[in-house]
Structure formats: structure tokens, C-alpha cells
Structure 1
Amino acid sequence: MGLSEINFDGIVGPSHNYAGLSLGNLASASHKGDPSYPRAAALQGLAKMRHNMGLGLAQGFLLPLPRPNGDLLARLAVDDTAERALLAAAWSASSMWTANAATVSPAPDTADGRCHLTPANLSTMLHRAQEWPDTRRQLAIAFADKRHFAVHDAVPGSLGDEGAANHMRLCESHDAPGVEVFVYGRQGGEFPARQHEQASRAVARLHGLDPMRTVFIEQNPAAIAAGAFHNDVVAVANGTVLFTHELAFADQQGAYETISKAFPGLEVVEVPASAVSLEDAIRSYLFNAQLLTLPSGEMALVVPEECHDNAAVWAWCEGMLAGNGPIRQVIPVDVRQSMANGGGPACLRLRVVADPATVDPRFLLSEGKAELIERVIAWSWPEQIDPSDIGNPALVRTVVAARNALLAALELQELG
């Protein structure tokens, strides 16, 4: 079939809850303690995947990680006297946001001509730092063909790495050599910057990237302070287009010049702060969208419904569509359960450029498989989880059984 972009979405796990564990993620903090609806969340995510398939796009998925994480609870000696946040960390379903699963460099960019994947260590947050060994295990199965893929260990945890959420790629076509852009941060007010510059540089070296086609850019500390805890909250790229807020980078014009030097065909679609404030951009997740090339060659932006609900954001989108820019469609989707925990359409997907024939087919979505997954979620995922339910033995049994049912249905019991 040749190389194409496959979006691997995370299936929302049965322990999905609102514990407010993510410092700097304003949506997560504002919904801390609210009841969550794992079944609705998982079905919303699945509907987004099916919607993208309906657009003619290749779609894959990654499975929820095992929760609660008994090994983490044991290592932290969590008991009735421990802080609830430690218990909640072991229950977190945050692996649903596969933009943080890994950084991916397609074969046309790498020295050995293979697609390289490095799991993110996510070391700045306990509930996420536990993920990478299980994530790597899953990636090693999905991308097991060593003729086409190389799956690495995470970089050392002292260098915080948040994966594809701080990584962009520009190219004339997905199967052509591209320019990879790594965005790192520094302290942003009271919030920590999660992506370390040296982590980005280590990943680039691991992947064998050409230094002349690799760019390192600093995120704007003001954006981090405003709640843009990852670059993909204020900027996203696809093909030749960089779609970005005016205040995304520490040196906005310098960033454009540096990227243009490596990629002369760069098209910048900049949203001015006078039209959409950082606050509105972060509240609506305008940039945490899937910027996609459709089979027709047109580019579409798949945004959360919150963008349609925000007057300033939607007015800007309508004005953009009335012009003659490269983005020709804006498509709202319902991912409200994910949004309430701080993740939009872009958070829910990991972009992998590969020949689908080289990927383990169990991780590729079809309409029949989507119906199967939907049935398992409908009868086994909890309908609601209240904060006081975390740690309840009956809920433990429900969550474990639900995940096991999905693994069995997909014949992926080796992930048990």
C-alpha cells in the first residue's frame, strides 16, 4: 500500500476519572472531584475514530493500560493513611491521550530508513510517569516488524519527555522526507515546563535524524503560564502548514525563520491574540485539534465542539474558511469527557506514518472491529465513577474485568 499517515487513538480506559492530578492543566484542575462517565468517554472517543474513518483516513488504536496499577501502589506503600492522590495516580486512565505515548519519526526522515518510536517518560507527573514500560510493551507488539520499525526505551527520567505533544512534522507529503520540529519549555509562572530540551535532542539522536532537517524551538513561557502545558495546546502542523497561535513560541518570528530555513515551503496560519486570546484558545482547545489531509487533498481541522461554543474562536474559524487559506474545513466532534480532563482530539491520537500492511492488524480499526469494541464498552465499562469510588474493591473487579474483556475480544491477551 505504501506509506500513509495512520492515527492511533487511545481507547478511554474503564477507570477514567477526574482526580485533578495534572498541574498546569486547567481543565483537569477545574473538574477535580466531579463524577466521570467512563462508558460515555470511551464511546465518544470511538465515535471520533469512526468519524475519521468515514473521512477516508486510516485509523488505528491503542489499548488502555492495566489499572489500578498494583505495582505502583505496592512501591508507594499506599494504605488508608496515604494521600488520596497517590491512590488516584494508580487508577489514572491518562494513557488514553496517546499524543503522549511516544515520539514518532517516519522512515523517510531517519538514517536507517525505519520508522522510529520512543515512548515518552512523562516524568514530571507521577500518574503519567508509570506509563512508559507498558506503553513500550504495546508499541513493541503493534510495530514488531524490525525491518520497518525500531521501538526504543524512554530517555532517562531526569530529562522530562512528553512525546508527540511537543513534536511536529512538516513535509510535502507524508511519504516524503520531512522536517521535524521539537518544542521544549522552560518554567511558565507557577507551572512546570514538561518538555526538556535535552530530552528532545536525545530523541532526535536516537531516531537518526538529519541535523539540517531537525529544529528545536522554545515554547512561550507565557503560554505555559496560561495553561498550555504542551505545545499542541497552542500549535499543530500537517503537511506544509503550521497552524499556530501568535503567542505559541518564545520568539515567534525567530521560530518561523528557523523552521523556514529547514523547510522553505512552510505555510503559516497564525491566529492573532487580538482575535483569539490565549485564554480562549486554551479553553476551547482550538489548536489541540487534528489537522488532517483528506483523500481529496484538502486539509481539514477536526476540533472539539467547545470551539463551536466559543464565539471568538468560531468567528475566527468562519473568517478563515471564507478566505483562501490551506485549511478548507473545520469539523467539530464531541469529546467532552476527555476535554473535561484536559485532552482534545489531538491529545487522543498518535500519528504514525507507515505502510498499514507492516502494522499488527489487531491494532488497526475497521467498521466491524469498531462495532465489536463498542459492544464490549457498552456492557462492561462503568457508567459512572465518583471520587469516593476510587479504591473500592468492587470497582477494582469491574475495571479489571472490563479491560480483560476487551483484550480477549481483540485477541490481545498478551497485554494482560
Structure 2
Amino acid sequence: MTTYEVNFDGLIGPTHHYGGLSKGNLASVQHRHVVSSPRRAALQGLAKMKRVADLGIPQAFFPPQSRPELEFLEAHGFSGSPAEIISAAHTKRPDLLSTAYSASAMWTANAATVSPSSDCADGRVHFTPANLQTMSHRALEAQHTTRMLRSIFYDSNHFMIHDPLPAVAETSDEGAANHTRLCPSFDAPGVELFVFGRDLRDPQQAPQFPARQTLAASQIIAKAHNLDPGRCVFARQHPLAIDAGVFHNDVISVGNQSLHLVHEFAFADQERVLANVNACFGPGLQQVIVAEDDLSLGDVVQSYFFNSQLISIGQDEMLLLCPIECSENVSANRLVARLLCADNPIKDCQFVDLRESMQNGGGPACLRLRVVLTDEQRLALPASIFITDDRYEQLCDWVRRHYRERLAVSDLADASLIDEVSVAMQELDQMLGLA
């Protein structure tokens, strides 16, 4: 029985815009109210999916969530027809209108935490959708994501979709962006590394930016997924990293199978954390520490080097799929060159243009959720969500016909945008045929 990793990317939605809603995400804040291109953003994301699929790696996608979220605006006191609600919100609370139109569900690394069947005692793949309660625009996603996951991973013989954790301070959860699985092979039991920024029992010095993941949330998820406690490691984010704009762990470390790339300031008490990971893994794990002198925290955030996808492309061989910004950042480019020459599984590096996503604070790894599946489990999924040559062309055509080339924040007041998005989403629903 073959076991492999499937990448589920978020198909970028037609309301992609730069609202600057994410405190602590420097790119999001710095590009606040810049004019976006939803069409270009979606085509860039699709091109990345096609590049991965062309490597022979299973590539799937999640559809965008429908926007605007009118119930959110109604809960804030706006009423009337959709056009009236949009108009009033634009006049009185444009920030809430931006939230209601957010396309942030595209970053599916935040969709859920996933544990493969080889790690779970009941032999099923477990998903816990993230509650994302730290940021209001992202908290809108949790229930939609849960329903979507249950419509795709519907076979309870193979999959267990948990409810999101309660959206309270003690159980703040950001999904797989703070979770790394290391394993000798995809079908072998792995080490699951859970990274948190806050522990309410041990508050320590609070960083200036929100520490989004709590230890309690990570511990509850590990228990719910029926994981072996001896193969779980819980690590605290370094506060210096959070204050530098590292709002998720996947901005400062990346791991795949037996390779773990880690910045010097990824974790508090880093020596102990890496030793625990190594002890849980056993022989064969390679942990590469990138020094601050080689790639500063500022360059980490500017280049998003650690948000690259580290992809297995053969026996003990990996590809590093980096944002194009890494080729333009001197330190990051030097680091890539050194890794390619060093003794590690990385045999190739490719750069991908995701500027529309990057300017909103999400790189290649943010756009995908990693799900390890057996052949049998994969066959239990709808074929319509996998990227093939035909599906890629269909989706590109759909985007070109329905997405705006330019979208300013002020354009969110245009009532016709509601109908444009509705028509587009209805056509996509018919194309995919999901329940």
C-alpha cells in the first residue's frame, strides 16, 4: 500500500484585497489598502499548484469561501438588503466591511491541524479545524472550513473531522501553521511538533504582537487525535521572533520527513526542544540550524524563506519551492546556494511568483495544507478537487471570466460585487459537485 503526501492549496477567492487586518503580520499591515489583483493572485496560486502536480506529486485544492459574510455584518447591527448592508457598513465601519469580504481562507495552512492514520491510534486521519479566534476576519472561517472538510473527507471509516476548539483565550488555535510532522517515511509513525506562543499557566513576558497559539489548544488536539504522547513535542515560539513579525511557526522553520530547517530564534529553550525532537525521532533525523548572522529575523520575514515548501521528489531527495522574494534577498539567496551544496536531501530549488499572496503575508507554505494519505484513503476523496491538466485549464478559465483585474478597498462598496461573486461561486459549485 502506497502512502504519500497530498498538498491541498487554497484557491484564492475573488474578493482578495489588502485590508491590513492582521496585526503582527508585517506584510499585511504594510500593504494596507494597496490595490490588489484578485485575478492575478488566483492565477499565481494555480500556477504553483500546477508546478507541484507536474512533479508527479498529488495536488488538490479547497474552493474559496463565499463572501461577503453578511451574517457577520448583521451581528454588528447592519440590516436591510445585501446592498443596503454593504452601503451602510462602507459608510460607518469600512473595517468591518473589509473583514466581511476577507479572502484569507486561501491560506489553508491555517485551515486545520492534520495527523495521518499512521500516527493515530484508531488508524484514521484526524483533522481539527482551527478556530483562528485571535483575528476577527479569520475567525469567520472556522465553521465554513469544518463543513468543507466534512464534505471532502466524508468517509468516517478513513477520516475523523473534529469540531473546532472553543473560541476562547485558553484554546486559541491556528492550525498546521504551528505544527510540523517529521518521519523517516510517510507511512511510518512520525514525531508531531506542536508550537505555541502562549501558555496561560506560564505567561512570561508578553510580546508586542499577538502570540496566537496556546499550549492548551495544542495539547487538546494531540489528545483528540489519539497520538502517542511519547512522539509529541510541544515547543514555545521565541518571543523575539514574534515581535519581528513571525506570527506563525511556518515563517521561521520548515520540516519534511527526515529534514528540519530551523532558525536560531525559532523556539524558546531551543536546545532542549531540538533534543526532544531528535530523541523522539531516533536515528536518521537531520536538523539544520540557520544562524541569525546568516539570515537575520528581518530577512526571515522579508524573504519568507522558511515559508518555502520542502517537497519529497524521490528517494531521499527534496525540492525547496521558495517565494521569488528569496531570489531577491541577498542573504536568503546565499542560504539557498549553501543548502544546495551541503550534505542534505535538498537537491533542487525553484522560485515561484506569489507576490499577490506575499504582499498580504502568505507564502508558498501558507497556501497549502499537507495531508498524508494511503491509496485507499485518497480514493475515498472526490476526484473533482485534484489538479489535472484539464482541471487546471478549467479553473484558469473560470478565474479569467469571473475575477476582477483590480480591486481597491473602496470597491468593496460596489453592490454589483456581491452578484459577481455569487455567480462565480455557483458555477464553481456546479463544476466541483461537492455536497
Place the TM-score, normalised by the shorter chain, in its bin. Answer: over 0.9
CA deviations over 1:337-387 (Å, ceiling 9, x no partner): 000000000000000011321222222221111111111011111111111
Q: Does 1:386 align with 2:396?
A: no
Counterpart AA for 1:314:
N
Is 1:218 aligned to residue 228 of structure 2? no
Residue equivalent to 2:29:
29
2:233 aligned partner, one-letter code: V
2:145 is paired with a residue whose SS is helix
User: Could you tell me how far 1:322 is from its partner in structure 2?
Assistant: 1.7
Question: In structure 2, which of residues 349, 355, 363 is the aligned counterpart of residue 344 of structure 1?
Answer: 363
Runs (4+) off by over 6 Å:
none
Q: Say which SS state the counterpart of residue 12 (structure 1) adopts.
A: coil
User: Which residue does the alignment assign to 1:116?
Assistant: 126
Unmatched 5+ stretches in structure 1: none
In the aligned structure 2, how far is the partner of 1:8 from the partner of 1:401? 24
- Give 2:139's match in structure 1, choosing from 106, 115, 129: 129
From 217, 234, 251, give the equivalent of 1:199.
Answer: 217
Kept in 2, the 8 Å contact 1:188–1:222? The answer is: no
Q: Which residue of 1 aligns with 2:189?
A: 177
- Supply the distance in 2 between the matched residues of 1:322 and 1:170 (Cα, whole angstroms): 23
Compute the displacement of 1:402 (Å): 1.7
> What TM-score do you get using the length of structure 1 for normalisation?
0.97
CA gap of 1:188–1:29, structure 2 versus 1, over 3 A, is: farther
Unaligned runs of 5+ in 2: 79-87, 199-204
Q: Is the 8 A contact 1:12 1:41 kept in 2?
A: yes
Which one-letter code corresponds to 1:238 in the other structure? Answer: N
In structure 2, the partner of 1:281 is 300
Residue 188 of structure 1 deviates from its aligned partner by 5.4
> Could you tell me which residue of structure 2 aligns to residue 14 of structure 1?
14
For the 8 Å contact 1:141–1:360, the answer to whether it is kept is: no
**Counterpart check, 1:271 vs 2:281:** no
The amino acid of 1:408's aligned partner reads Q
> Aligned partners of 1:262 and 1:323: how far apart in 2?
25
Q: CA deviation at 1:296?
A: 4.8
- Which amino acid in the other structure matches residue 51 of structure 1? R
The structure-2 alpha-carbon separation of the partners of 1:52 and 1:227, relative to structure 1 and needing over 3 Å to count, comes to same
For the residue of structure 1 that corresponds to 2:9, the secondary structure is strand
1:140 corresponds to which residue?
150
Give the conservation status (yes or no) of the 8 Å contact 1:218–1:250: yes
Following TM superposition, by how much is the alpha carbon of 1:312 offset from its aligned partner in structure 2, in angstroms?
Answer: 1.0
Q: How many residue pairs align between the two structures?
A: 413
Listed one character per residue, the Cα deviations across residues 30-56 of structure 1 (whole Å, up to 9, x for unaligned) are: 000100100000000000000001111
- Counterpart Cα distance in 2 of 1:337 and 1:61: 18
Deviation string, structure 1 residues 119-178 (Cα, Å, up to 9, x no partner):
000000000001011101110011111111000100111111000000000101111111
Higher mean alpha-carbon deviation, 314-323 vs 61-70, is at: 314-323
For residues 385 and 335 of structure 2, what CA distance do their matches in structure 1 show?
37
Residue in 1 that maps onto 2:166? 156
1:107 and 2:117 equivalent?
yes
Residue 91 (structure 1) aligned with residue 113 (structure 2):
no
Counterpart residue identity of residue 135, structure 2 = M
1:264-323 deviation digits (Å, cap 9, x = unpaired): 232112211101101001110000111110135411111100000001110111122122
Cα distance in 1 for partners of 2:348, 2:197 equals 31
Give 1:326 shift: 2.3
Q: Which amino acid aligns with 2:124?
A: R
Amino acid at match of 1:98: T
Alignment partner of 1:395 is 2:414: no
Q: Tell me how far 1:335 sits from its aligned partner.
A: 0.6
**DSSP 3-state at the match of 2:59:** strand
Contact between 2:316 and 2:345, CA under 8 Å: does it hold in 1?
A: no
CA contact (8 A) 1:57 1:295 kept: no
Q: Aligned to 2:307, what secondary structure does the other structure show?
A: coil
Letter in 1 for 2:251: V
Counterpart AA for 1:362: S
Work out whether residues 66 and 421 of structure 2, in 8 Å CA contact, stay in contact via their aligned partners in 1.
Answer: no
Counterpart contact for 1:180–1:213, Cα < 8 Å: yes
Q: How far 1:398 sits from its partner (Å)?
A: 1.3
Kept after mapping to 2: 8 A contact 1:235/1:248:
yes
Q: Deviations over 1:174-220 (max 9, x none)?
A: 11111100000036532010001100011111101010011100010
Q: Give the aligned CA root-mean-square deviation in angstroms.
A: 1.2
CA shift, 1:99, in A, is 0.2
Contact 1:56–1:295 (8 Å) recurs in 2: no
Which residue of 1 is the match for residue 433 of structure 2?
Answer: 411
Deviation at 1:86, TM superposition (A): 1.1
- What one-letter code is carried by the residue in structure 1 that aligns with 2:164? A
Q: 2: distance between equivalents of 1:149 and 1:113? A: 9
- Once residues 190 and 82 of structure 1 are traced to their aligned partners in structure 2, the CA distance between those partners, rounded to angstroms, is 29
In the alignment, the residues of structure 1 paired with residue 237 and residue 208 of structure 2 have an alpha-carbon distance, to the nearest angstrom, of 15
